Amino acid sequence: MDNRITKAVIPVAGFGTRLLPVTKTQPKEMLPLVDKPAVQYVVEEAVASGIESILFVTGRGKRAIEDYFDYAVELENELHNKGREKLLEEIRRVVDAVDIYYVRQKLPRGLGDAVLRARGFVGDEAFAILLADDIVVAEKPCLAQMLELYAEEPALYLAVMPVPHEEVSQWGIIKGREIAPSLYEVEDLIEKPSLAEAPSNLAIVGRYLIKPSLFAIIENIAPGKGGEIQLTDALREILRKERIYAYRFVGQHFGVGDKESYLKANVAFALQREEFAAPMRDFLRKLLEGKEG
């Protein structure tokens, strides 16, 4: 039996209100981390994990994402004519590495509804969901870690990480029983609980391995917090019938869905680049000492 997952869904229809005003005309997923848009890091993780086809669930104002993952003929000809083959190869690499498709979420009805738009793309296959707000830096990609677990035991899997207790109200939180190192059998899920309601501090990060049986649940679920169709609520419902596992991944997580997290991620990614690390450290040291400018 082939337990491979080769399809991934990346929902990108959100408005990015926490990053306004820049996201008024620029999709939040296209905001750069050093010299690449945030969404490219997520696509690269999917490709490095063996994903062969990706569906973007887009919305109004997201055309820049489609243009980015397409050939830029005039630019590529210019780079070729000037002998800048290395840069040409870099911009083509992600475009050539995977088949990319698009579907629109016509109304902003929540993450669960966005996932439902992928039904035709997925068919009867299990698939991955990756959220572009969540970037994970790891020697072995976070998704690849999860796919290894799926190959051994096909089931629904969520990526989780511990968060400070005062931050649990910002996340979907699991209640789980640890059945192996870093692996939990999920007993309950709560979307953005208060500190008193939270059953743990294990937060769901934007990586999921999902079976198509989830679609029927999403289709019939009532709107949850914010009046939206919540993916967490659908997973909680399917938990009545199927096992869900949560995996505490190995890697460093960067959120880019709000201004503070985005700024921190940019600094961190610059410090990880060999050509920028030393001058950035020098600049930050002088800045903190009050000597810059």
- Provide the CATH number for the domain formed by 7-257 in this structure: 3.90.550.10
- What CA–CA distance (Å, rounded) separates 151 from 236? 23
pLDDT tens column, 222-251: 777 777 888 988 998 999 889 999 999 999
Q: What is the mean pLDDT of the chain?
A: 89
Confidence of residue 291 (pLDDT cuts 50, 70, 90): low
pLDDT confidence of residue 1: 54
> Which of 68, 206, 196, 97 shows the shortest CA–CA distance to 146?
206
Q: Which amino acid is at 239?
A: L
- What CA–CA distance (Å, rounded) separates 25 from 180? 46
Dihedral in degrees, nearest 10, Cα atoms 149, 152, 153, 156: 30
Do the beta carbons of residue 258 and residue 18 sit within 8 Å? yes
pTM: 0.91
* Ranges assigned E (strand) in the chain: 7-11, 32-33, 36-37, 53-58, 99-104, 127-130, 134-137, 156-162, 172-180, 183-191, 202-210, 244-248, 252-255
281 has pLDDT over 50: yes
- What CA–CA distance (Å, rounded) separates 188 from 239? 8
pLDDT confidence of residue 23: 87
pLDDT confidence of residue 293: 47
pLDDT tens column, 101-157: 999 998 878 899 999 999 999 999 999 999 999 999 999 999 999 999 999 999 999
Q: What are phi and psi of 62, to 5 degrees?
A: -110, 15
Cβ-based neighbours of 159, under 8 Å, separated by 6 or more: 136, 142, 146, 204, 205, 206, 207, 208, 246, 247, 249
pLDDT tens column, 156-195: 999 999 999 989 998 989 999 999 999 999 999 988 888 9
Do the beta carbons of residue 245 and residue 149 sit within 8 Å? yes
pLDDT tens column, 7-51: 999 999 888 788 889 888 888 999 999 989 999 999 999 999 999
User: DSSP assignment, residue 36?
Assistant: E
Do the beta carbons of residue 143 and residue 46 sit within 8 Å? yes
